[in-house]
């Protein structure tokens, strides 16, 4: 099982997911703003590059790179040595967005694909994070266009033999994902929730879908501590 | 008048013979060099040289006189009232401003490559430019001053067209054609901020391959 799974380094999650994501698949982590999606994705990428010899390419589309560096530093992820060894690539594609403030989206799927076609072989990346799809969606005039291009992009990723984690932000009260189609095209869908219980926001994690895997389906609490995401696999939120 | 013709005119007028020749031709009649030389008591080659210089300076009109198989230039003064104007705004500023624009473009491209986060891409661009154009600094700084080889905006555009192509080529090999185009376009947008009129007037975008 070990070789077939791409562990995330989040022990509780890996237990729930039979060891991690299935290698070479396309996975989606969704949830509302502030639910910990990017941190979850950073764990996945950093653990791959740092601990299991799988170079990672992390594409930032919305946040400035400096913010991501800051988050990594806060949770003890030392980026510089991995960059020097060329096993972690943190690329801020938002920086080269032409059109200034008037442009609605950073890139379309075709541009992402063109970028990855060159960079995946060059980096030898085995893990890919796209953070986030929310920056790609507005590029397309209709949800049908988005779905069609994402479908084509998914096919490209499957052929690229890379384990992909796509980040998608949900708008509260409007469904689990931003465009309502991302979860259908992905092989797995992990939802991070923020629930108000007795006046406090509690974080929850649910594996809503994971193809080819006997996975846990319960809603579990998780915390963000000094070491990052800590999923309480033995506890459930009822 | 731009700087170069002005310099010719000033040199011709300040010579020993410039004003004497103009005075001789003030009646508007066409004269050839030998006639001028004879009247002023100077050598024909001297008269010929200064007639040519005064013509280049814009003071004298010139035409060809044919006598059998022989041809000679003849000159005359168009008007006895001479005006010498130098428009520095027209001759200097576009070249210097264009140089600043293109230098900004390269600076922004390198800075964007650094902020993008691709390890070493900014340094690779610098290294490539130094290797490909190791004479760049000398060419620009020795080229722009008086009598240097870099005298026109068009020459500058050709030079920076090559530099932009080097940047685009390296970025394409590193991260694909579309991202490379985005980087070049973004660098262009940042460099042209506040200089839109200059860019539009001299089509400075064209050598960079951006619309």
Residue B87 lies in a domain: no
Which chain B residue has the Cα nearest residue A111?
Answer: B178
Number of domains in chain B: 2
- Asked if residue B150 lies in contact with residue B139, where contact means CB atoms within 8 angstroms, the answer is yes
What confidence category does residue B143 fall into, taking pLDDT thresholds of 50, 70 and 90? low
What confidence category does residue B147 fall into, taking pLDDT thresholds of 50, 70 and 90? low
pLDDT above 70 for A164: yes
Residue B85 lies in a domain: no
Residues of A at the B interface, defined by Cβ within 8 angstroms? 60, 65, 83-84, 86, 89-93, 95-100, 107, 110-111, 114-119, 122
Give the span between the Cα atoms of A205 and A15, in whole angstroms: 13
Judgement on whether residues B124 and B154 belong to the same structural domain of the protein: yes
Judgement on whether residues B122 and B67 belong to the same structural domain of the protein: no
Residue B88 lies in a domain: no
Residue B122, pLDDT score: 93
pLDDT above 90 for A30: yes
pTM score above 0.80: no
Judgement on whether residues B73 and B98 belong to the same structural domain of the protein: no
Judgement on whether residues B126 and B181 belong to the same structural domain of the protein: yes
Residue B152, pLDDT score: 79
Give the span between the Cα atoms of A128 and A136, in whole angstroms: 16
Q: Cβ separation of A98 and B116 shorter than 8 Å?
A: no
CA distances (Å), origin B105, targets A2, B101, B110: 50, 6, 9
User: Which residue reads 């799809």 in tokens?
Assistant: A133
Beta bridge partners of A188: A27, A210
- Asked if residue B40 lies in contact with residue B47, where contact means CB atoms within 8 angstroms, the answer is yes
Q: What is the pLDDT of residues A113-161, one digit of tens each?
A: 999 999 999 999 999 999 999 889 888 888 889 999 999 999 999 999 9
Burial of B197 (0-12, 13-18, 19+ CB in 10 A): exposed
User: Which residue reads 């390269």 in tokens?
Assistant: B106
Angle, alpha carbons A193-A199-A200 (nearest 5°): 45
Q: What is the pLDDT of residues B1-19, one digit of tens each?
A: 566 667 777 778 878 888 8
What confidence category does residue B133 fall into, taking pLDDT thresholds of 50, 70 and 90? low
What confidence category does residue A13 fall into, taking pLDDT thresholds of 50, 70 and 90? very high
Residue B173, pLDDT score: 95
Judgement on whether residues B19 and B73 belong to the same structural domain of the protein: yes
Domain range for residue B17? 5-77
Per-range mean pLDDT, top range of A44-48, B57-61, B162-166, B206-210? A44-48
Q: What is the pLDDT of residues B102-117, one digit of tens each?
A: 989 999 999 999 999 9
Domain boundary among B77, B111, B127: B77
Q: What is the distance between the terminal CA atoms of chain A, rounded to a whole angstrom? A: 30
Residues of B in contact with A89 (CB under 8 A): 117-119
**CB-based burial, B65-79: b 16+ in 10 Å, e otherwise:** eeeeeeeebbbebee
Percent of chain A at pLDDT > 70 equals 95
Who among B112, B117, B177 is closest to A91 (CB)?
A: B117
Who among A84, A86, A98 is closest to B182 (CB)?
A: A98
Residue B55, pLDDT score: 85
Q: What is the mean pLDDT of residues A45-60?
A: 97
Residues of A in contact with B175 (CB under 8 A): 115, 118-119
Closest by CA to A148, choosing from A176, A177, A108, A116, is: A108
Q: Cβ separation of B179 and A93 shorter than 8 Å?
A: yes
Interface test with A, best of B169, B172, B174, B176 (most A CBs within 10 A): B176
Give the span between the Cα atoms of B98 and B101, in whole angstroms: 5
Q: What is the mean pLDDT of residues B23-28?
A: 87
Q: What is the mean pLDDT of residues B110-127?
A: 92
Residue B7, pLDDT score: 72
Judgement on whether residues B98 and B197 belong to the same structural domain of the protein: yes
Q: What is the pLDDT of residues A188-237, one digit of tens each?
A: 999 999 988 888 889 999 999 999 898 999 999 999 999 999 999 999 98
Give the span between the Cα atoms of B122 and B107, in whole angstroms: 10
Residue A1, pLDDT score: 43
Judgement on whether residues B68 and B112 belong to the same structural domain of the protein: no
What confidence category does residue A40 fall into, taking pLDDT thresholds of 50, 70 and 90? very high
Indicate the range of A216-225, B16-25, B124-133, B142-151 predicted with least confidence: B142-151
Angle, alpha carbons A50-A209-A34 (nearest 5°): 60
Instruction: Rounding to the nearest 10 degrees, give the CA dihedral for residues A90, A96, A101, A103.
Output: -100
Domain boundary among B48, B77, B106: B77
Q: What is the mean pLDDT of residues A71-75?
A: 97
Q: What is the mean pLDDT of residues B199-210?
A: 93
What's the CATH number where B37 sits? 1.10.10.10
Angle, alpha carbons B2-B6-B8 (nearest 5°): 130
Judgement on whether residues B27 and B126 belong to the same structural domain of the protein: no
Indicate the range of A208-212, B22-26, B141-145, B179-183 predicted with least confidence: B141-145
Residue B88, pLDDT score: 55
Residues of A in contact with B173 (CB under 8 A): 118
Shortest Cα distance, chain A CAs vs residue B182, angstroms: 6
Cβ neighbours of residue B16 closer than 8 Å, sequence gap 6 or more: none
Q: Cβ separation of A119 and B185 shorter than 8 Å?
A: no
Q: Cβ separation of B174 and A114 shorter than 8 Å?
A: no
Token pair belonging to A58? 């992390």
Judgement on whether residues B36 and B125 belong to the same structural domain of the protein: no
Residues of B in contact with A92 (CB under 8 A): 115-117
Give the span between the Cα atoms of B7 and B19, in whole angstroms: 16
Q: Quickly list H helices, B1-135.
A: 3-13, 18-24, 33-40, 44-56, 88-91, 93-116, 121-132
What confidence category does residue A2 fall into, taking pLDDT thresholds of 50, 70 and 90? very low
Residue B160 DSSP class: H
Neighbours of B96 (CB within 10 A): 12
What confidence category does residue B86 fall into, taking pLDDT thresholds of 50, 70 and 90? low
Residue B91, pLDDT score: 45
Residue A171 DSSP class: P
Element (H, E) at B65: strand B60-67
Token pair belonging to B151? 């005298």
- Asked if residue B58 lies in contact with residue B12, where contact means CB atoms within 8 angstroms, the answer is no
Interface test with A, best of B111, B113, B116 (most A CBs within 10 A): B116
Residue B131 lies in a domain: yes
Q: Cβ separation of B178 and A115 shorter than 8 Å?
A: yes
pLDDT averaged over every residue in chain A: 91
Q: What is the pLDDT of residues A94-103, one digit of tens each?
A: 888 877 555 5
Residue A90, pLDDT score: 97
Q: Quickly list H helices, chain A.
A: 11-16, 37-51, 65-74, 79-84, 109-123, 143-159, 182-185
Residue B179, pLDDT score: 94
Judgement on whether residues B122 and B31 belong to the same structural domain of the protein: no
Judgement on whether residues B99 and B73 belong to the same structural domain of the protein: no
Residue B84 lies in a domain: no
């Amino acid at each position: 099982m070990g070789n077939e799974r791409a562990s995330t380094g989040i022990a509780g999650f890996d237990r729930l997911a039979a060891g991690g994501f299935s290698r070479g698949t396309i996975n989606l982590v969704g949830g509302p703003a502030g639910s910990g999606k990017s941190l979850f994705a950073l764990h996945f990428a950093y653990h791959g590059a740092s601990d299991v010899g799988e170079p990672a390419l992390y594409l930032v589309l919305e946040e400035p790179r400096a913010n991501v560096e800051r988050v990594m530093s806060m949770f003890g992820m030392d980026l510089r040595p991995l960059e020097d060894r060329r096993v972690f690539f943190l690329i801020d594609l938002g920086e080269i967005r032409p059109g200034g403030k008037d442009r609605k989206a950073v890139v379309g799927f075709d541009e992402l694909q063109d970028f990855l076609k060159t960079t995946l072989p060059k980096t030898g990346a085995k893990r890919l994070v796209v953070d986030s799809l929310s920056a790609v969606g507005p590029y397309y005039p209709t949800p049908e266009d988005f779905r069609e291009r994402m479908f084509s992009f998914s096919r490209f990723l499957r052929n690229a033999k890379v384990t992909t984690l796509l980040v998608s932000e949900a708008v509260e009260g409007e469904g689990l994902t931003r465009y309502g189609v991302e979860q259908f095209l992905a092989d797995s869908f992990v939802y991070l929730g923020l629930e108000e219980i007795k006046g406090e926001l509690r974080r929850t994690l649910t594996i809503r879908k994971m193809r080819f895997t006997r996975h846990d389906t319960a809603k579990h609490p998780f915390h963000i501590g000094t070491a990052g995401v800590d999923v309480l696999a033995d506890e459930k939120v009822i | 008048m731009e700087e170069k013709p002005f310099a010719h005119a000033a040199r011709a007028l300040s010579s020993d013979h410039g004003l004497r020749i103009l005075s001789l031709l003030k009646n508007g009649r066409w004269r050839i060099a030998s006639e001028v030389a004879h009247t002023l008591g100077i050598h024909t080659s001297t008269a010929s040289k200064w007639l040519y210089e005064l013509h280049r300076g814009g003071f004298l009109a010139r035409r060809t006189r044919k006598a059998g198989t022989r041809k000679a230039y003849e000159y005359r003064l168009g008007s006895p009232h001479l005006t010498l104007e130098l428009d520095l705004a027209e001759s200097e500023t576009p070249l210097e401003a264009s140089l600043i624009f293109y230098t900004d473009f390269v600076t922004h491209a390198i800075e964007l490559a650094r902020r993008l986060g691709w390890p070493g891409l900014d340094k690779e661009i610098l290294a490539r430019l130094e290797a490909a154009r190791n004479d760049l600094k000398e060419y620009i700084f020795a080229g722009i001053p008086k009598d240097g080889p870099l005298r026109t905006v068009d020459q500058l555009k050709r030079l920076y067209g090559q530099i932009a192509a080097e940047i685009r080529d390296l970025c394409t090999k590193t991260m694909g054609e579309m991202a490379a185009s985005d980087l070049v376009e973004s660098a262009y947008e940042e460099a042209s901020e506040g200089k839109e009129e200059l860019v539009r007037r001299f089509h400075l975008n064209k050598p960079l391959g951006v619309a």
